[in-house]
Amino acid sequence: MIDIPALDARVRALVAQGRMEEAEALVRPHLASGSGPMPLWRLLAHTIRPQGKLTETRAIQEMLVDSLPGELATRFDLAETALLLGDFDRGWREYHWRYSLDHTTRIERKVQSPRWDGRPIPGQTLLIHDEQGFGDTFQFLRMVSWAKERSQARLILEINPEALSLAKRAKGFDEIVVRGAIPPRFDVHCEMMSLPMVMGLQLSDLPGTVPYLSPDRARLAKWRKRLAKLPRPLVALVWAGRPSHHNDANRSMSLADLAPLALPGVTYLAIQKGPKAEEAKGPPPGMSLVCLSDEITDFEDTAAILAIADLLISVDSSPVHLAGALGRPAWVMLPFVPDWRWLLDRADTPWYPSLRLFRQRRRGEWAPVLDEMAKSLGRLRPNDVGADDPPEIEQAKVPSPIPDSPIVLKECRHGRMLFLWRDIYVGRSLDLYGEFSHLETTLFTQFAQPGMVVIEVGANIGAHTVSLAQMVGPQGIVVALEPQRVIFQLLCANVALNGLFNVRTHQAAAGRKAGTLMVPPLDYAAENNFGGISLGSEAGGESVPVITLDSLALPAVHIIKIDVEGMEADVLAGARQLIARDRPVLYLENDRREKSPALIRLLDKLGYECWWHTLPMFNPDNAAGRRENVFPGILSLNLVCLPNERPLVMDGFHKVAGPDDWPLP
């Protein structure tokens, strides 16, 4: 007879001491037959999950949920494991049960109105309210504007007092109120952390538009003056999270632990808050540390400091999420089994493009993490990461040809380029590196020859148009389509600046049939991914024509490049005659996993073999010679497609095995 209470007490005592293997060894013999009391299976899951045995943990948790569906704590445990493994469908569904647990019931808002189910509710009012930690609020504020678009409702955002002023500068709501005040009348409500469930959030939806928060200009001016005389690089530092967090013992450190980071020439800014802030008075030997903790009154101060600093180094805590939401570079130190949002086995995160993750390889061992970080930090130089970002901090350094213009003119690898310096990918790449996705251009040289005809759908400002036009020469033709009026104007300007008379530009989208689409209204002076805009029927936008590629009536076509944010199949459907006649090389962006199987099946029907072209945005051999990668972990997922009848093998490329093939884990 097993004395389960006694065994439970012994196992939990060992777990509390971090002796997981010993705890597991106590439980395993009682379950060797594959069956046993449910409390013992629960204990086993608690002992093996911290060891990283997540597949087995999940299997046990699913068995427990199937057997005891009313045991809500287990459902919540399953949610965190599923999310950590990247299973958003199951994870968000089970995560909803957090409201039945002690640590969330005290902060859940009790309302009588129904919870929004994700469907459009035009004419109604939707209340979205945050209900958990500051990091959660900063992370999921991005979804407020998505909910506004999906619901078509009047949206009221209720936010905690500490994040209120930052949230006011975000977008997506009609009215904002502070938590604790009585909100205006509303018809339906939704907790901010329930938005992923009701909206069916998938990894492919991330990151959305980043940054979506911005620092206050008055605080920026204050902190620029405060930090002006400090030698760069300036590295903000946080070594501990909130002590009451359930996983704080695994994620937090002492300042003394960070001694390996005491490198000459680096100025650290201690922005640690809470009980651990006192440690800044006695930094490790050799560490140049300026303690700002007592001067920081709120998150507005923290945001301004992060906007000025070259880098944030932090444990998993709210400043990390604030940095990510601001689009600021941050290096995050993660325990062996991290919080669910950081996923597994990757140095980047889909939530925040500007973050780099440094993970423990063994439980509790921070020394290798700090050694790796110190090596990377030793290569950091002033302005390598973020000293020029965001541009409003150092406006005098922006080489704009027009005072106060959002447009920059620079000499780049393939010629002179005008670009929006607040475009977070194309503009930032051209500004820092003098090129954009040059590894794609390198591929095109294998196919594009003088005299060829190339169609580029979704040409943006012409970063690739210019190089393609140079490859095909004066006797060749490049037909470039771009629907966004302002972006199209820059495309035309870049073609003219480089004397490319062989380029024919069209302000149009391409589709399966002729018609019109709406380009959503955008602020081109604000930060955005202007190459990642999806077209649709948004009210208040600009109407643009949709044409078919077949209607271009070109004498021949040799290459078609398509980058249209999920509308690739529509473009191909409108080019069937052209494809059947000329059998051109196809190069398509394919970064939306939910749409990939259908696209691959369509290409198979068209008689094409496909290879994945997965490449990083950063080119270490870039034109500017800059070594620091400001796009860590950001990949471009594309398909190189060749007609079946063309006997060519793409050496070094992964051939698409079938509709469900995907290049990422």
Give the CATH number for residue 337.
3.40.50.2000
Confidence of residue 621 (pLDDT cuts 50, 70, 90): confident
The answer to whether residue 118 sits within a structural domain is no
3-class state of residue 140 by DSSP: helix
Q: Cβ atoms within 10 A of the Cβ of 13, count?
A: 11
Distance from CA of residue 276 to its chain's centroid? 30
> How deeply is 313 buried, as exposed, middle or buried, from its count of CB atoms within 10 A (0-12, 13-18, 19+)?
buried
Q: Is 428 found in the same domain as 480?
A: yes
Q: What is the pLDDT of residue 319?
A: 96
More confident residue, 96 or 400: 96
Provide the pLDDT confidence category of residue 111 given band limits of 50, 70 and 90. Answer: low
Residue where a domain stops, chosen among 369, 391, 413: 391
Domain boundary (139, 163, 198) is at 198
Q: What is the CATH number of the domain that holds 69?
A: 1.25.40.10
25, part of any domain: yes
Q: What is the share, in percent, of the chain residues with pLDDT greater than 70?
A: 91
The model's confidence at residue 525, banded by pLDDT at 50, 70 and 90, is confident
Considering the domain boundaries, does residue 281 fall inside one? yes
Q: Are residues 259 and 328 in the same domain?
A: yes
Least confident of 400-404, 494-498, 588-592: 400-404
Q: Is 586 in the same domain as 552?
A: yes
- Mean pLDDT, rounded, for 406-433: 89
pLDDT at position 509 is 93
Range from 280-294, 402-416, 435-449, 628-642 that averages highest in pLDDT: 280-294
pLDDT in tens, 632-644: 888 899 999 999 9
Residues 424 and 386 in one domain: no
Residue position matching structure tokens 């005659």: 577
pLDDT value of residue 359: 94
3-state secondary structure labels for all residues of 489-544: HHHHHHHHHCCCCCEEEECCEECCCCEEEEECCCCCCCCECCCCCCCECCCCCEEE
What pLDDT, on the 0 to 100 scale, is given for residue 380? 62
Same domain for 406 and 423?
yes
Position 397 scores a pLDDT of 34
| Residue 492 sits in the same domain as residue 593 | yes
Whether residue 347 sits in one domain with residue 495: no
Q: How many structural domains does the chain have?
A: 4
Over range 78-84, report the average pLDDT.
95
Is residue 429 a part of any domain in this protein? yes
The helix/strand/coil state of 136 is: helix
- Output 209 or 357, whichever has higher pLDDT: 357
Q: Which of 73, 105, 137 is the last residue of a domain?
A: 105
Residue 120 lies in a domain: no
Q: Is 114 a member of any domain? A: no
The mean pLDDT of 597-619, rounded to a whole number, is 94
Does residue 617 share a domain with residue 582? yes
The secondary structure of 254-319 as a DSSP string is -GGGGGGG--TTPEEEE---SGGGGGGGSPPTT-EEEE-GGG--SHHHHHHHHHHSSEEEEESSHH
Residue 404 and residue 386 in one domain: no
Do 640 and 520 share a domain, yes or no? yes
User: Which residue is associated with the tokens 């009221």?
Assistant: 156
Q: Which residue has the tokens 């990461």?
A: 385
What amino acid is encoded at 276 in this protein?
A: K
pLDDT of 576: 96
Q: Which residue did the predictor score with more confidence, 121 or 665?
A: 121
337-382 pLDDT per residue, tens: 999 999 998 988 999 988 999 999 999 899 999 999 998 887 664 4
Domain that residue 144 falls in: 125-198
CA distances from 121 to 117, 124, 153, 581, 649 (A): 10, 6, 6, 47, 52
Judgement on whether residues 494 and 465 belong to the same structural domain of the protein: yes
Mean per-residue pLDDT, 205-226: 92
pLDDT value of residue 540 = 62
Residue 190 included in any domain: yes
Predicted confidence band of residue 422 (pLDDT cuts 50, 70, 90)? confident
Q: If you average pLDDT over residues 204-215, what whole number do you get? A: 90
Interatomic CA distance for residues 173 and 164, integer angstroms: 13
Please tell me the least confidently modeled range out of 1-5, 36-40, 218-222: 1-5
pLDDT for 379 equals 66
Q: Rounded to an integer, what distance in angstroms lies between the CA atom of residue 334 and that of residue 343? A: 11
DSSP count for the chain of H helices, then E strands: 23, 23
581 assigned to some structural domain: yes
Tell whether 304 and 359 lie within a shared domain: yes
What Å distances lie between residue 171 and 30, 141, 142, 154, 567, CA to CA? 55, 9, 9, 13, 26
Mean pLDDT for the stretch of residues 574-583: 96
What's the pLDDT at 244? 64
State the average pLDDT over residues 166-192: 93
CATH of the domain at 636: 3.40.50.150
